[in-house]
Amino acid sequence: MRYDFGSDNTAGMAPSAVEGLVRANDGFARAYGADDVTARAADQIRQRLDADAEVRFVFSGTAANAIALSMLAFPFEAVLAHNAAHVCTDETGAPGFFGHGLGLIGLPGFSGKIDPLALKAQLDEPEVGHRQPPAALSLTQATEYGAVYSEEELRHLIEPVKLRGHGVHLDGARLANAAAAGFDLKDIARLGVDVLVFGGAKAGANCAEAIVLFDKSLARRLDNRLKQAGQTASKARFLAGPMLGLLESGDWEAGGAHANLMAQRLAEGVATRSRFVLAHPVEANAVFVRMPAEAHARLNALGWACYAFDDGSVRFVCSWATTTEAVDELIEAVAGLE
């Protein structure tokens, strides 16, 4: 089985991330995030966001998202999110677990982008004592369907939420791909996002993600919260080191750009060489193809890892490690399916 296109999680660490880990391993360092490597990696993130924010590195995106949402809503409240968002479909109730019962309200929208009218309708729902009222909004950039919100699109979603005094979380597991597609990272803080998850694993790091708090009032006893959740690394430099390697080398951006380019190549090949059609616009590093289950099964049998997504299409994901040769071979395989 080939794993080129099963997920961007299947690729290994980028060379610069490995080098960052090796450098972090040299000598002794202060524990629990008080080391220079962690400080430098946090500064690299702040520079890209052009914001004075609290930054902590954790072991997984699921924990990062769930802990972030638990900061924005009480257990008797809920978080608004796209109904295909990772927090709704792939985190096994982690937001409710870390948030001691906080709920999730799924919203519709094409290609993983929340429909502003659906958001408005939910915000206008009367509050009653028998349901969890919304207290925060969770956005994903790039979305689960590979779409990239524009600054204007995000503003139209964030402004009505902030006007009601609610918090905003941004899941940036594929933020590097969104940035490579033209999204300005500096807009995140300017738009009023309170908590960002700055993605590392899918960008070529190990298992590291960063929680970024723009609203520093949320940082009160943050380290206690992370410790209780099992997300405080004693040797934090081994989480921050690979991120530092990616960021200082520029490979965080370069890897995202390469993955996007490979996705565009794949999409063009599938659209022009095969009988299948694309299910969603290709704006980041994922390609979704309308394909019968029989054809999908044959492709898997040929060794190409890909899987049926929530909308019934077949998803192919490119990464920093995807090669043009692998893309071209896959296009030939898809074109050969009857």
The model's pLDDT over 228-259, given as tens digits with 9 standing for 90+, comes to 999 999 999 999 999 999 999 999 999 999 99
Residue 1 lies in a domain: no
In a domain, 227, yes or no: yes
pLDDT tens profile 166-182: 999 999 999 999 999 99
Radius of gyration in angstroms for the set of CA atoms belonging to the chain, rounded to a whole number: 20
**Is 180 in the same domain as 293?**
no
pLDDT tens-digit profile of 280-318?
999 999 999 999 999 999 999 999 999 899 999 999 999
Same domain, 239 and 275: no
> Cα 114 from chain centroid?
15
pLDDT, average across residues 187-193 = 98
What CATH number does residue 297 fall under? 3.90.1150.10
245 and 255 fall within a common domain: no
**Using the 8-state DSSP alphabet, how is residue 146 labeled?**
S
| pLDDT beyond 90 at 2 | no
242 and 256 part of one domain:
no
Please report whether residue 23 resides in a domain.
yes
Band of the pLDDT at 29, cuts 50, 70, 90?
A: very high
pTM of the model: 0.96
**Nearest Cα residue to 199 out of 217, 185, 215:** 185
Q: What is the pLDDT of residue 1?
A: 78
- What confidence category does residue 319 fall into, taking pLDDT thresholds of 50, 70 and 90? very high
State which residues form the domain around 113: 15-249
* Any domain includes 327: yes
Same domain, 137 and 231: yes
Q: How far apart are the first and last CA of the chain?
A: 21
Q: What is the pLDDT of residue 21?
A: 98
The pLDDT mean for the chain works out to 97
Q: Given 189, 214, 249, which residue is the final one in a domain?
A: 249
Q: Is the pLDDT of residue 338 over 80?
A: no
| Overall domain count for the chain | 2
Residues 154 and 300 in one domain: no
pLDDT in tens, 153-167: 999 999 999 999 999
Residue 3, pLDDT score: 85
Residues 303 and 197 grouped into a single domain: no
| Residues 269 and 240 placed together within one structural domain of the fold | no
pLDDT (0 to 100) of residue 291 = 96
Calculate what percentage of the chain has a pLDDT beyond 70: 100
134-148 pLDDT, tens digit per residue, is 999 999 999 999 999
E strand or H helix that includes residue 308: strand 307-308
* pLDDT at residue 187, rounded to an integer: 98
Partners of 58 in beta bridges: 209
Q: Phi, psi at residue 319, to the nearest 5°?
A: -135, 180
